[in-house]
Amino acid sequence: MDSHDVQSDLKHVLYTREQIADRIKELAAEIDRDYAGRDVLLVGVLKGAVMVMADLSRALHSHVSMDWMAVSSYGSGTQSSGVVRILKDLETDLLGKHVLIVEDIIDSGLTLSWLRTNLESRGPASVEICALLRKPAASKVDIDVKYVGYDIPNEFVVGYGLDFAEKYRNLDFIGTLAPHVYE
């Protein structure tokens, strides 16, 4: 087996490119309805949310601007450290803005609940969250995620922006890793 063959690192496909595209269109329609007539600032969380941001923003009909934050809560492995640090802050003043945080995945919810509190302290008109994926652990924390693409089982997933040690972000589908990759 060629160790550089990405396919051989995957156990199974959770969502295909087509399924993701359809779900993102549904989320965009909901967001367009909810924000009718208002400008939205999409805040993407680097790097995982890059693909969701690219596709969601293009599926929206509302006026949007985009900005990015980079925070660290995970190292290169699969375990949450519980510590959130801002690696790159926004360039936009949030005062009076309708902010929609765009995330790839919510697991423990630590990152997003910290981020939401942080952004709320900057005087926006509103802060909501859109996450493409949500793991079961997220139900244990008190965090209101208004837009969720899919509730998934508690498995480590990669692709469509999600990485394992910085690999697999470029896959156009979402899949689970074969055990030989991380064991």
**Which of the choices Mg ion, ligand XMP, none does residue 149 contact, using the CB cut-off of 5 to 8 A by kind?**
none
**In the complex, least distance from residue 119 CB atom to ligand XMP, rounded to whole angstroms:** 15
Q: Residue with structure tokens 């765009």? A: 102
Q: Which of residues 11-70 bind ligand XMP (CB under 6 A)?
A: 48
**In the complex, least distance from residue 58 CB atom to ligand XMP, rounded to whole angstroms:** 21
DSSP string, 54-118: HHHHHH--S-EEEEEEEEEEE-SSSSEEEEEEEEE--SS--TT-EEEEEEEEESSSHHHHHHHHH
Note whether 104 binds Mg ion by CB under 5 A.
yes
Q: Which stretch binds ligand XMP (CB under 6 A): 29-37, 51-59, 61-69, 154-162?
A: 154-162
> Which residue in the list 55, 107, 142, 144 is annotated as catalytic?
107
Question: What's the DSSP call for residue 148?
Answer: E
What backbone phi and psi angles, to 5 degrees, belong to 169? -60, -30
Note whether 9 binds ligand XMP by CB under 6 A.
no
Q: Name the amino acid, one letter, at 167.
A: K
Note whether 163 binds ligand XMP by CB under 6 A.
yes
Handedness of CA 159, 79, 90, 61 (dihedral sign): positive
Which tokens go with 166? 């910085």
Q: Which lies closer to Mg ion via its Cβ, residue 70 or residue 125?
A: 70
**Which of the choices Mg ion, ligand XMP, none does residue 156 contact, using the CB cut-off of 5 to 8 A by kind?**
ligand XMP
Q: Which residues bind ligand XMP (CB under 6 A)?
A: 48, 73-74, 80, 103-112, 156-158, 162-163
